[in-house]
Chain A
Amino acid sequence: MARTRYVRKLKELRQNVVDMGAATLQSVDYVIASLETSDSALAERAIANDDVIDNFDRKIESQCMSLLALEQPMAKDLRLIATSLKMITDLERIGDFVVDIAEEVITMAKPIRIPVSATKFIELVADVRSMVADSIETYAEGNIQKARSFEGRDDRIDSLYKNIVESSVNSLAQGACSTETASDVVSLLYIIRYLERIADHAVNIGNRVCYMEEGDRRYLK
């Protein structure tokens, strides 16, 4: 095998992106746990963890630029670098949405109650979490079959999101909420919006993995 140093650098890049993905998933888990347990300390951890994600973002971008400038990557190597460069932006944005959710959690009254559509909310949270985990796994393993399932899974998330929005609006419109509950409903609306956007970034990652593996630019919509 030729270009040993170059091959090692590509491996390091891939590992760093996977590690960044793990850090992002850790943040998602912290914020979900903070919702489940009403523990603001976990939300604070999710916020603090964003620095870890941002550091990965800068480090990986620099790695990609150096590989592009010095190694003239081609074919699958080029696609790996292009995918990594774009994917870290998706992960970084997921991290930012986690911070947004954590900030809502901190301001919500404790213990946290989900005032409307609690079952659907729990489903939505679980689906988004598994999408993020799977998106990182598809990149690590080049699993395009799983990546292709993301569009369908995202449709389900969109539908849950719309359903919860409708219930929340109805609840507010009926005027049955106390001021405190109404405030929780508004926080819930923010949180599900952020969750829905997180899932969109996971879909982006899945599409980029399809491009990385197969070279078909149709996935880069």
Chain B
Amino acid sequence: MNNATENSVEISVKNLNLWFGKFQALKDVNIDIQKNQVTALIGPSGCGKSTFIKTLDRMNDLVDNVKISGEVMYQGRNILDSNTDVVELRKQIGMVFQKPNPFPKSIFDNVAYGPRVHGVRKKQNLNEVVERSLKAAALWEEVKDRLNESALRLSGGQQQRLCIARLLAVEPDVLLMDEPASALDPIATSKIEDLIYELKNDYTIIIVTHNMQQAARVASNTAFFYLGELIEYAPTIDLFERPQDKRTEDYVTGKFG
């Protein structure tokens, strides 16, 4: 079921199927991800939500025996096509993981890493990108006086925001977040949630979360996955207040199984 709020579509997924060997992890998924909205993916462990999000920037390519069919249309092309430039794609569609993974480098070098890879060399330009990205990730005020310190000395919540700043530095369109706050305490979590809410003005965000209240707080639309199928996709308020499918109802009320 697909009742999500209509807006312009950033990513359109059609008949997506994915197998790991003989195991089918995604079954005929059809979903339109709205531009400049936060879309939350929820569902029990193993339901396919992380697999789905990884398909959007071709991270499943790294898995042995993976077979994918269907279409993931983004900017007029199917990103599953073999001729897709994956490096360029991951610049446009970036990913933040559950555990913050800063490079063992300075705060500055973490953020400047992407722009350098993509050819920015001038110190002045890098300074501007780093400041802009750290500000956009709501981290600038906390680190502006110690940019040359190791990123590993930051707290978990700061490291996660640094990883988001690192993504923003290469000016992506879409941010994929795979449980970005699950390893953080409530205060760091609320900072990430506030940040997500701010970032949606400029980016399309897809967030996988096990925390339904988090989905309810940050997402405009929510998709419920179960056993590899997209069961229900609707405006978040509808999905949590009056889900249409009994499986969604059972999951969101915690009576699953």
Contact = CB atoms under 8 A, between A and B. Distances in A.
Interface of A: 1-3, 6-7, 72-79, 214-216
A157 to B, nearest CB: 31
Q: Which 10 A-B pairs have the closest CB atoms?
A: A215-B242, A74-B252, A3-B254, A74-B240, A75-B249, A77-B253, A75-B252, A75-B253, A75-B243, A74-B253
Contacts of A215: 241-242
B123 interface: no
16 contacts: A2-B255, A2-B256, A3-B255, A6-B254, A74-B253, A74-B254, A75-B242, A75-B249, A75-B252, A75-B253, A76-B249, A76-B253, A77-B253, A78-B240, A215-B241, A215-B242
Q: By CB atoms of chain B within 10 A, which of A72, A78, A79 has the most? A: A72
Contacts of A216: 242
A78 B243 CA distance: 12
B76 interface: no
Given A72-B212, A72-B213, A74-B212, A79 B253 contact: no
Contacts of B255: 1-3, 7
Nearest to A214: B242
A78 B241 contact: yes
A216 B249 CA distance: 15
A1 B253 CA distance: 11
A72 to B, nearest CB: 6
B257 interface: yes
B44 to A, nearest CB: 11
A75 B254 CA distance: 10
Interface in B233-253: 240-243, 248-249, 252-253
A79 B254 contact: no
Given A1-B257, A74-B252, 14 more contacts: A1-B255, A2-B254, A2-B256, A3-B254, A73-B253, A74-B253, A75-B240, A75-B241, A75-B242, A75-B248, A76-B249, A76-B253, A78-B240, A215-B242
Chain B contact patch, size range: 10 to 19
Interface in B181-210: none
Contacts of B243: 75
A54 to B, nearest CB: 30
Contacts of B240: 74-75, 78
Contacts of B256: 2
Contacts of B257: 1-2
Contacts of A2: 254-257
Q: By CB atoms of chain B within 10 A, which of A7, A74, A79, A214 has the most? A: A74
Nearest to A74: B252
Interface string B81-115: 00000000000000000000000000000000000
Nearest to B252: A74
Nearest to A216: B242
A7 B250 CA distance: 12
Contacts of A78: 240-241
